[in-house]
Amino acid sequence: MRTPIKSLLAVAAVAALALSGCGRTDSGTTTTAGSTGAAAGGDTLIGVALPQKTSENWVLAEQLFKDGLAAAGYKSDVQFANGGVSEQQNQIQSMVTKGAKVIVVGAIDGSQLGTQLKAAKDAGATVIAYDRLVKNTAAVDYYVAYDNFKVGVLQGNALLEGLKAKKPNGPYNVELFAGSPDDANAQVFFDGAMSVLTPKIADGTLKVVSGQKDFAQVVTQGWKAENAQKRMDTLLAANYSATDLDGVLSPNDTLARAILTSVKATGKANPVVTGQDSEVESVKSIMEGVQYSTINKDTRNLVKATIEMVQAITKGGKPTVNDEKSYNNGVKVVPANLLAPMIVTKANAKEAYANDPTLSQYVK
């Protein structure tokens, strides 16, 4: 238990982290960070199990967790599982063995951590699902993420707006992409987008020329750029030799750039392509008028909200949650603290990234 003055210092440290620019550097390493903790001097261990580095947000989270947890007076064990699910399972098991009080999990496969998370609960740890929901287990206490359904809605709206700006009237020829089916977010992003796009497909404004409209048909295994690029190559060859492609729903920036690379190789006109994550290369692309939109989900704020949750839990209190109905993981509704995502296009990029010292460089 921290004294009030120590707690204040810890909060101040986390607030300073949120304002600092320590974000967009890829340290590229996985280490176990320990800290004597200038703020609190505690020896409470917090485990953070991150997935593969499939997008910049995960890379950013690593250093933010290390710095933020140390500043708040915790010891941390921050791990990536680039080797896959079994590596992540072993890492979580090891955090339990080391006595972690809270385990924060960004799951590779949200359905395959039940055994390890049950062990965590049995050992008295609290489990927080970070960014991605953990499914089919009672052994998860809280969820902290940007509102995933809203992300999809914003992507769907951006696609429609981008198409309209290009030519005032449809029908527009489009293709749909979703993320990796083992990531619980992928379906939610897609459902959010389709809540906007399905009526427009039904009324003929949008034409999915390939006919591939179901989640299972449009997924991108492992969120891998090469898989999206390959699928786009195939779609173009099969459906667009004599047809224009007006737009593509892409669930994130990494895949958006892969899709654009594929289209470019055919010599076709640049379609309207959505994205997510505000990755540096995509922000540059948006400013050049190539990728149409992205989503700002500032990782600094998500890590800060997570550390605030950790602080509430380790002080024996209840963390802030603002949604106790949306995230049913198959076994229970997981109380969630959802942050608001923001759509970014060339039109609002300057204002959107005003507080981001890295991204604001590209939007002058």
Site residues for ligand BGC per CB under 6 A: 54-55, 57-58, 131-132, 179, 183, 185, 223, 252, 276-277
d(CA 256, CA 358): 21
**Between 145 and 163, whose beta carbon lies closer to ligand BGC?**
145
- Residue 248 CB-half CA count within 13 A: 32
Using the minimum distance from each CB to ligand BGC, give the nearer residue, 39 or 92: 92
In the bound state with ligand BGC, the residue whose beta carbon lies nearer, of 60 and 263, is 60
| CA dihedral over 45, 323, 300, 12, signed as positive or negative | negative
Nearer to ligand BGC, 6 or 132 (CB): 132
Question: C-beta of 161: minimal distance to ligand BGC in Å?
Answer: 21
Q: Considering beta carbons, is residue 131 or 246 the nearer one to ligand BGC? A: 131
One-letter amino acid at 231 equals: R
Kindly give the residue spans of alpha helices, DSSP state H, lying in the chain. Answer: 4-19, 56-71, 85-97, 114-122, 148-166, 184-202, 215-218, 225-239, 253-266, 280-287, 299-314, 349-352
Smallest distance from ligand BGC to CB 58, Å: 6
Of 35 and 57, CB closest to ligand BGC: 57
- Please give the torsion angle defined by the CA atoms of residues 177, 223, 55 and 335, in that order, rounded to the nearest 10 degrees: 90
Shortest separation between residue 358's beta carbon and ligand BGC, angstroms = 17
Bond before 271 cis per omega within 30 degrees: no
- Give the separation between CA 297 and CA 279, rounded to whole angstroms: 10
CB of 347 to ligand BGC, least distance (A): 22
Smallest distance, ligand BGC to C-beta of residue 277, A: 5
CA distance 47 to 61: 13
Minimum Å distance from CB 59 to ligand BGC? 10
